[in-house]
Every structure is written in C-alpha cells, then in structure tokens.
C-alpha cells in the first residue's frame, strides 16, 4: 500500500507535461491508480509549466499535489518555488545543467543530473526530460523494461512511433548516470 506524489516543473517546451504523462501511463500499465493534472495558466513556450502526478495502490483523492514526495525541477525558478514544499524524506531530481545552486534542504535526498548537457552531448537535445525520468525510475527501483516500453508506446502516438527508440535510449542514459 503506497502512494507517490510527483510534481514536475520547468520551462514550457522542456517536456514537463509529457514526462508527467509518461509516469502516469506507466502507473496505468502497472495496474496502479493514477491522476495527472497540468497547470493550465496562460502558459507558452518559455513560460513556466508544471504538473501533478499521483501513482497509488488505492483510489486517488485530491489530484492536486501541494507537498510532493518527488519533485522534478528542470529550471531554477521551479526549484526556488517548490523546494520548501517537498515532504521531509522526499526526493528532489534536478537538471544541474540549468540549476547552478545546491538544494538547501537537508531532510530530502537530492539527485542532480546534468540532463540538458547529456541530452545535447548525445544528439537528443529535446529529451532532457526523459533522461531525468530514467534516473527517477532507477532511484525508485521502478525501471521495469516491459512496463517502460509499454508506457512509452501509449504516451507516444503512432504517428511519432519513430521517436520510441530515442526516448528509450534517453531513459537508459539517465538510468546509467552516476553523480
């Protein structure tokens, strides 16, 4: 019996909502209860975007995540805004290519992944989000190859099926990354 509340946050265009959708679909594939709620302000490319994702063994109550177990911060404004909200004992994943400062909290675990740099080094500049997801699943011990592939198949539309392989490769890069 467990519930994990995720908050994904970053610039519009970084694939924040997509990353959240992937985690929700993976929960669905794994037979969990899930919810996905985007921020839907007057946001656009370059603005801020965030989404709440809950994956649970029991029915999801409120879909709004205000105190995440897992914060995924893909830019500095996101870390500044949500660092204090993370539950004690929670985990912060951040894109250290874009966030130069350290996390101030001492009661949370932190994984700093230079996702944007890894993405451009590996010729997949738009997939920093999926590199972080690979790391998250590895840390949460939830990188089931079958369910990852199934979830990717659901979240990537048939029209873009040629993107499956590179997304999977991005996740493997994140999975293998060590500080």
Partner 1 sequence: MDKVLMKGNEAIAEAAIIAGCRHYFGYPITPQTEIAAYMAKRMPKIGGTFLQAESEIAAINMVYGVASAGLRVMTSSSSPGISLKGEGLSYLAGADLPSFVVNVQRGGPGLGGIQPSQSDYFQSTRGGGHGDYHMIVLAPYSVQEMAELTVKGFELADKYRMTAMILADGTMGQMMEPVSLDLQVAEPPQKPWATTGTNLSRKHNIINSLSLVPEELEKLNVARYERYKIIERDEVRYEEYRMEDADVAIAAFGIAARVSKNAVDEARKMGIKVGLIRPITLWPFPKAPFAKAAEHVKQFISVELSMGQMIEDVKLASECKVPVTLCNRVGGMIPTPKQVLEAIVAADKGGKL
Residues engaged in binding partner 1 (CB under 8 A):
21, 24-25, 28, 33-38, 40-42, 60-64, 66, 154
Least distance (Å) between residue 32 CB and partner 1 = 9
Least distance (Å) between residue 64 CB and partner 1 = 6
Least distance (Å) between residue 38 CB and partner 1 = 6
Residue pair 37/58 in contact (Cβ under 8 Å)? The answer is no
Residue pair 119/170 in contact (Cβ under 8 Å)? The answer is yes
Q: What residue spans of 52-176 are helical by DSSP H?
A: 76-82, 115-121, 128-139, 145-155, 164-176
Q: How many whole angstroms separate alpha carbon 69 and alpha carbon 57?
A: 15
Closer by beta carbon to partner 1, 34 or else 128: 34
Closer by beta carbon to partner 1, 62 or else 102: 62
CB atoms within 10 A of CB 119: 23
Least distance (Å) between residue 62 CB and partner 1 = 4
Closer by beta carbon to partner 1, 116 or else 167: 167
Closer by beta carbon to partner 1, 81 or else 169: 81
Least distance (Å) between residue 65 CB and partner 1 = 11
Closer by beta carbon to partner 1, 61 or else 125: 61
Residue pair 117/99 in contact (Cβ under 8 Å)? The answer is no
What are the C-alpha distances in Å from 122 to residues 31, 116, 165? 33, 10, 13
């Amino acid at each position: 019996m467990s519930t994990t509340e995720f908050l994904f946050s970053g610039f519009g265009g970084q694939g924040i909502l997509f990353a959240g959708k992937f985690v929700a679909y993976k929960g669905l594939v794994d037979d969990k209860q899930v919810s996905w709620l985007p921020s839907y302000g007057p946001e656009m490319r370059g603005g801020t975007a965030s989404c709440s994702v809950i994956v649970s063994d029991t029915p999801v109550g409120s879909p709004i995540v205000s105190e995440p177990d897992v914060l995924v911060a893909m830019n500095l404004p996101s870390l500044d805004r949500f660092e204090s909200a993370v539950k004690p004992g929670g985990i912060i994943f951040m894109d250290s290519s874009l966030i130069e400062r350290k996390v101030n909290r001492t009661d949370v675990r932190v994984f700093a992944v230079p996702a944007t740099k890894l993405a451009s080094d590996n010729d997949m500049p738009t997939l920093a989000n999926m590199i972080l997801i690979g790391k998250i699943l590895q840390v949460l011990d939830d990188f089931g190859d079958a369910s990852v592939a199934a979830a990717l198949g659901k979240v990537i539309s048939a029209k873009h099926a040629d993107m499956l392989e590179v997304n999977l490769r991005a996740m493997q890069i994140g999975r293998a990354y060590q500080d």
